[in-house]
Amino acid sequence: MTIFKDDGHWDHLNFEDAIVKMQELSLLQISHNNQSEIVVSLHSMVSEWLRMRLDNDLQPTFLNAAVSHLKFHLLSVGDSDHKTRQEGQAHLDTIWRGVESFNLGDHFLDARITFGNFYNDQGRYKDAEMMYKRALAGYEKELGPDHTFTLGIVNNLGALYGNQGRYKDAEMVCRRALAGYEKALGPDHTSTLDIVNNLRNLYVDQDRYEDAEIMYKRALAGYEKAWGPDHTSTLNTVHNLGNLYGNQGRHKDAEMMYKRALAGFEKAWGPEHTSTLDTVNNLGNLYLNQDRYKDAGNMYKRAVAGYKRALGPEHMSTLSAIIKLEFLYKLNMYGG
């Protein structure tokens, strides 16, 4: 890019002149995203020709720069629009073919994790698994099987398998990650507890409630010890434990958990935070399942008012609470 600099400063006119000339030669394609932004891209045949013409000794250098740029681009994309993410995916597919053709072994380990995460978010699970496994092999070789970086990739693989419903594979790798974190960081470290939570979610998805409860209680005890009983992570665990008890029909235990979470969220975030309102709504569901219609109506009425202010009248959470409240009104089960 130094050819577009004048005395060390970027010369936009020089760059623009070069772009126009290359477009006239059909080397570049220019498209408009909007009135203030254009996209400049090489035609795929031109890109392939450039790669073929490039000296073999220089190709890894340029490939390294391309991978680095793409890694930071994908991190900046985040939850942007579908078109932007599709463009990023096209770049990733193209660049990774170059990486594979050079058989660069343990290069780009950190980038592989970023690329794996991106593929995972796009639902391309096979490609995500390939990225994670190659990053895992590299870190195992470079840092050892019990290093926290290595274990972080193991955890990513567990989440990937869980998303695919591959519960046996997911449990196996999550338990490996859990054992490694317990050894490296201790049983009560927050990273260890994150793995405990992942196992918990895995068991809930399989309706293995007893196993899930063990994980919930362990996570709760750990968060209370690490951050205190009123920390939001502690309260989230309390709330989720209430969900578990509700699914099991353990209404008394569920109510106790919800009320503790509600009091904590009101103190930490206020009465109209969405986490507070979600707990209010879940209490309403719990009361409805017990035919405690007046209590349920009171909760739904509060949830409706809060969701309208926090999320708007047409948000799904607002509409869901309205439907339940109207159901109670129509059946003359609530007159609040």
- Res 81: pLDDT: 65
- State pTM to two decimals: 0.71
Q: What is the 3-state secondary structure (H, E, C) of 149-180?
A: HHHHHHHHHHHHHHHCCCHHHHHHHHHHHHHH
Residue with tokens 């409630």: 209
Decide: 102 and 60 in contact? Cβ < 8 Å: yes
**Tokens of residue 268, six digits:** 């930490």
- Res 297: pLDDT: 93
- Res 86: pLDDT: 78
DSSP secondary structure letter of residue 270: -
The domains found in the chain, sorted by start residue, are: 1-51 (no CATH), 54-126 (no CATH), 228-336 (1.25.40.10)
Q: What is the mean pLDDT of each successive set of 10 residues along the chain, which is 336 residues long?
A: 80 86 84 70 78 76 82 78 75 75 66 89 91 92 93 93 94 96 93 91 92 95 93 94 94 97 95 95 96 94 94 93 91 71
Q: What is the 3-state secondary structure (H, E, C) of 62-103?
A: HHHHHHHHHHHHHHHHCCCCHHHHHHHHHHHHHHHHHHHHHC
- Res 245: pLDDT: 96
- Res 4: pLDDT: 81
- Res 242: pLDDT: 96
Strands (E), the chain: 5-6, 9-10, 28-34, 37-42
Cα 100 to chain centroid distance, Å, stands at 27
- Res 102: pLDDT: 62
The C-alpha torsion from 52 through 57 and 61 to 67, rounded to 10°, is 50
